[in-house]
Amino acid sequence: MTRPDRPEPKAGVLDIAAYVPGKSKGTHGKTLHKLSSNETPLGASPAAKAAIETVAHNLELYPDGAAIELRDAIAETYGLHPDRIICGAGSDEILSFLAYAYLGPGDEAIYSEHGFLIYDIAIRSAGATPVVAPETGLKTDVDAILARVTDKTKMVFVANPNNPTGTYLPFEDIKRLHEGLPPHVLLVLDAAYAEYVRKNDYESGIELAATSQNVVMTRTFSKIYGLANLRIGWGFGPSHIIDALNRIRGPFNVSGMAIAAGIAAVKDREFVTRAIEHNDAWLPWITEELEKLGLEVVPSVGNFVLIHFPDEDGKRAVDADAYLLERGCVLRQVGNYGLPNSLRMTVGSEEANRAVLQHLKDFLGKA
């Protein structure tokens, strides 16, 4: 047997497609309107910014490894038990913890066709096999997921609302999915955009996670709270699952600045309300204005829209992206999500929203 002449990663690691974040700059090198990463245009809560300053004087000290005060603040806000909450460096770390704790070689995990790319990475990193369920009308298909459940299935990931499509499943569909899964299969409800949803038939997953033994809901501070730079997320689920995740969690996985800012942010309900109101005003405006240009827009409940472009030379998504980049407007190409002729646009500031629409109008020759 010939030994390799250098360390080699375990089987499957090199099959993982590395996550590629949205662009941060236009082609002229200066960012004007970055609408590629679903960041809030309102920035962060002033209370969160002030809280960071208090920690800056104690950088030599380790943070609270259990993030007790942050978990207490989250629990108080949502009416949960803090012992059933785990905090992480973004919700994607919680998603990875779940994969590492419950998946291994020979196991399968299911996610939707246009689901968050981190699911595939987490599944493969754990040595398991990803199974992709096709969508119907760019929407998660419960029946397609259930049809792919086998004896090897150990986990199902559902982003609700979904990124990058902006579509969602009503709570009745989520309950039907849960009822159709064997009790040993873990249902992971990724609700990163839950705060933006204004639908009466939507529920983030708290109820199921509170009453079931095989459901975990994940949330993030990166979107509506405006703390993406600090990397904070959290998960809520049965005590036995949270216990397992804490056994593989790093001892100080959430920084002191993140903890302090998260506590202040989750308590600042006035800021959250302003963020919701901004999105409620501009999401329908963007959708309507894009449709006036003859572009197809997927109905979204998040803080972004998915835009389909004409399938003709010079008018495709890649052409529009290049045109916008030259003018300092940065949107997100989503070819790696299986949507090569679409762009995702974050709801930005009034200035940014109007700039993108004007440039697209010029690009399409609608002036």
Spatial separation of the C-alpha atoms in residues 27 and 230, rounded to whole Å? 27
> Based on the domain organization, do 147 and 214 belong to the same domain?
yes
In a domain, 339, yes or no: yes
> Based on the domain organization, do 23 and 64 belong to the same domain?
no
pLDDT at 15 (0 to 100):
74
Torsion-angle region of residue 84: left (phi > 0), alpha (psi -120 to 50) or beta? Answer: alpha
In a domain, 6, yes or no: no
> Based on the domain organization, do 95 and 144 belong to the same domain?
yes
pLDDT at 24 (0 to 100):
59
* Domain extent at residue 325: 13-43+270-363
> Based on the domain organization, do 229 and 302 belong to the same domain?
no
In a domain, 3, yes or no: no
> Based on the domain organization, do 358 and 275 belong to the same domain?
yes
> Based on the domain organization, do 171 and 308 belong to the same domain?
no
Q: Could you check whether the bond before residue 21 is cis, i.e. omega within 30 degrees of 0?
A: no
In a domain, 346, yes or no: yes
pLDDT at 225 (0 to 100):
97
> Based on the domain organization, do 50 and 68 belong to the same domain?
yes
Spatial separation of the C-alpha atoms in residues 105 and 362, rounded to whole Å? 52
Residue range 3-48, pLDDT digits in tens = 777 767 777 777 767 656 666 565 566 668 999 999 999 999 999 9
85 phi/psi in degrees, rounded to 5? -115, 140
In a domain, 225, yes or no: yes
The residue from 268, 284, 315 where one domain ends is 268
pLDDT tens for the chain, 367 residues: list them. Answer: 677 777 677 777 777 676 566 665 655 666 689 999 999 999 999 999 999 999 999 999 999 999 999 999 999 999 999 999 999 999 999 999 999 999 999 999 999 999 999 999 999 999 999 999 999 999 999 999 999 999 999 999 999 999 999 999 999 999 999 999 999 999 999 999 999 999 999 999 999 999 999 999 999 999 999 999 999 999 999 999 999 999 999 999 999 999 999 999 999 999 999 999 999 999 999 999 999 999 999 999 999 999 999 999 999 999 999 999 999 999 999 999 999 999 999 999 999 999 999 999 999 997 6
Supply the CATH number for residue 235's domain. 3.40.640.10
Spatial separation of the C-alpha atoms in residues 367 and 353, rounded to whole Å? 17
> Based on the domain organization, do 281 and 165 belong to the same domain?
no
In a domain, 5, yes or no: no
Pairing of strands 85-88, 233-236: antiparallel
pLDDT at 6 (0 to 100):
76
In the chain, the number of structural domains is 2
Count other Cβ atoms within 10 Å, centred on residue 301.
19
> Based on the domain organization, do 280 and 295 belong to the same domain?
yes
The residue from 252, 268, 284 where one domain ends is 268
82 phi/psi in degrees, rounded to 5? -60, -25
Q: Which of 191, 275, 188 is nearest to 227 (CA)?
A: 275
* Exposed / middle / buried, residue 166 (Cβ in 10 Å: 0-12, 13-18, 19+): buried
In a domain, 167, yes or no: yes
CA distances for 309 relative to 135, 193, 205, 237, angstroms: 20, 25, 34, 40
Query: What does the buried/exposed string (b/e) look like for 250-270 if buried means 16 or more CB atoms within 10 Å of the residue's CB?
Result: eeebbbbbbbbbbbbbbbbee
> Based on the domain organization, do 247 and 113 belong to the same domain?
yes
The residue from 268, 285, 313 where one domain ends is 268
pLDDT at 267 (0 to 100):
97
Torsion-angle region of residue 38: left (phi > 0), alpha (psi -120 to 50) or beta? Answer: left
> Based on the domain organization, do 290 and 336 belong to the same domain?
yes
> Based on the domain organization, do 156 and 274 belong to the same domain?
no
Is residue 234 within 8 A of residue 69, CB to CB? The reply is no
In a domain, 332, yes or no: yes
**CA 326 to mean position of chain CA atoms:** 28
Mean pLDDT in the chain? 94
Supply the CATH number for residue 30's domain. 3.90.1150.10
Coil, helix or strand at residue 137: coil
